[in-house]
Structure 1
Amino acid sequence: MALEIVGSGFGRTGTMTTKDALGILGFGPTHHMVEILEDPSQIGLWKHHMAGRPVDWSAVFKGYRSQVDFPGAAVWQDLLTAFPDARVIHTERPEDAWWASFNKTIGKVFRLAETLPLPDPIMDVTVSFRDGLIGPLLGDYRDRETAIAAYRANNARVRKVVPPDRLLVFDVAQGWKPLCAFLDVPVPDTHLSAP
């Protein structure tokens, strides 16, 4: 099974809501950071990438129809090469709201990782992504201006690289309509819960 949807939006941009929505719309299972936290054995495949070794992205995303959130969002350009027919959903939210959410959650865990009572596999996932993938993508993830600059740069790069007919820039606060129109599916009779 090849990925049909690649998520290029950073974590804390409504990716969990988007994951849930894709499941409701029939585009699941959707890979998200929670899958790695629930199955830390996946980190080995990501360590190959972080070490600069070739990665079989079909193996990394075996069994998934879509992907949103980190770590996949950190390698969205590689995924577009590996899955050339995939459409891109780029989740965004206002940058100040993104920073506030990121800094209180992912950033906080990254800053405090070594002091937290995390099980060894979760510590390995956290430190590996902090030091080898997400941290380098953001630069100094502890600094608001540096992190927001990386966020802006990613948003701009997605718009520049992805053909408009394959791209949905999506704020979950918009609700179902743009997502369903992009995926050419009916709007479900349920509420899309934003974070």
Structure 2
Amino acid sequence: MSTKLALEQLGFGPCHHMVEVMENPAQPAHWKAIAAGEPVDWTAVFEGYRAQVDWPGAAVWQQTMTAFPDAKVVHTERPDEDWWNSFSVTISKFFARAPDMDLPPHIADIFATMSGWFLKDTFADHTDRACAIAAYRDNNRRVRELVPPDRLLVFRVADGWEPLCRFLDVPVPDTPFPRSNPRDEFWAHFGGEPG
């Protein structure tokens, strides 16, 4: 979320994020089609957006990198343990608990699609720390190997504005880099974190 807010502040908004899939009525149909392996018009999927972060778009980075050959790729990374500590109490916990949660029908449908597609394709077992971290490392490695160096910024949010602005060739804002509390913000979409 911090990167989404930063990109929007820099003029690269609106920025597509899982929040848009939940809140934009046109979005779920695109991701159901993608999950079903149907042909994709990536321009239509991201119509109205100038950037993309987070899942589900991050699950199709290789396809979108090809579909948008002039786009730059900002790949956020953090230390494995920091990533796991966040992932395990947000996305992984949500998918483990979603079947028992009282979700609005459209949200339940979106996450059924996501669970049967990118979560399954990305992680052999998203609840197992070692397995999840191995998948995280593998994805980071593939990004570094496959994205041309002139199009890639491996970005750590903790580094703030300077590397991001330099890569995107925009001025550094006079405001602090956006910070969010991903756990609280994540669970706020679903009425709070289950116990």
TM-score (norm 2): 0.89
Identity of aligned residues (%): 59
Quote the residue 1:102 is aligned against.
87
Structure 1 residue 145 and structure 2 residue 130: aligned? yes
Q: Any conservation in 2 of the 1:71–1:134 contact (CA below 8 Å)?
A: no
Cα distance in 2 for residues equivalent to 1:47 and 1:165: 33
Secondary structure at the aligned position of 1:20 is classed as helix
Gaps of 5+ in 1: 1-15
Query: Out of 6, 25, 32, which is 2:17 matched to?
Result: 32
Cα distance in 2 for residues equivalent to 1:134 and 1:77: 16
Secondary structure at the aligned position of 2:88 is classed as helix
Cα distance in 1 for residues equivalent to 2:25 and 2:108: 10
Q: Any conservation in 1 of the 2:155–2:164 contact (CA below 8 Å)?
A: yes
Gaps of 5+ in 2: 181-195
Secondary structure at the aligned position of 1:58 is classed as helix
Quote the residue 2:74 is aligned against.
89
Misfit runs of 4+, over 6 Å: none
Q: Any conservation in 1 of the 2:15–2:52 contact (CA below 8 Å)?
A: yes
Cα distance in 2 for residues equivalent to 1:134 and 1:68: 16
Quote the residue 1:69 is aligned against.
54
Report the Cα offset of residue 40 of structure 1.
4.8
Report the Cα offset of residue 127 of structure 1.
1.6
- CA distance 1:98–1:142, change in 2 (3 Å): same
Quote the residue 2:151 is aligned against.
166
Q: Any conservation in 1 of the 2:5–2:178 contact (CA below 8 Å)?
A: no
Report the Cα offset of residue 193 of structure 1.
3.0
Secondary structure at the aligned position of 1:139 is classed as coil
Report the Cα offset of residue 114 of structure 1.
1.2
Report the Cα offset of residue 41 of structure 1.
4.2
Q: Which AA in structure 2 matches 1:129?
A: M
Cα distance in 2 for residues equivalent to 1:134 and 1:190: 36
Report the Cα offset of residue 154 of structure 1.
0.6
Report the Cα offset of residue 137 of structure 1.
1.1
Cα distance in 1 for residues equivalent to 2:80 and 2:26: 33
Structure 1 residue 120 and structure 2 residue 66: aligned? no
Q: How does 1:33-72 map to 2 (within 5 A)?
A: 33-72=18-57
Cα distance in 1 for residues equivalent to 2:51 and 2:26: 20
Q: Which AA in structure 1 matches 2:123?
A: L
Q: Which AA in structure 1 matches 2:36?
A: A
Q: Any conservation in 2 of the 1:40–1:125 contact (CA below 8 Å)?
A: no
Residue deviations 1:1-40, cap 9 Å, x none?
xxxxxxxxxxxxxxx1111011111111100011111125
Secondary structure at the aligned position of 1:45 is classed as helix
Q: Number of aligned pairs?
A: 180
Cα distance in 1 for residues equivalent to 2:131 and 2:87: 13
Quote the residue 1:157 is aligned against.
142
Residue deviations 1:68-102, cap 9 Å, x none?
10000000000011111110000111111111111
C-alpha RMSD over aligned residues? 1.1
Secondary structure at the aligned position of 1:131 is classed as helix
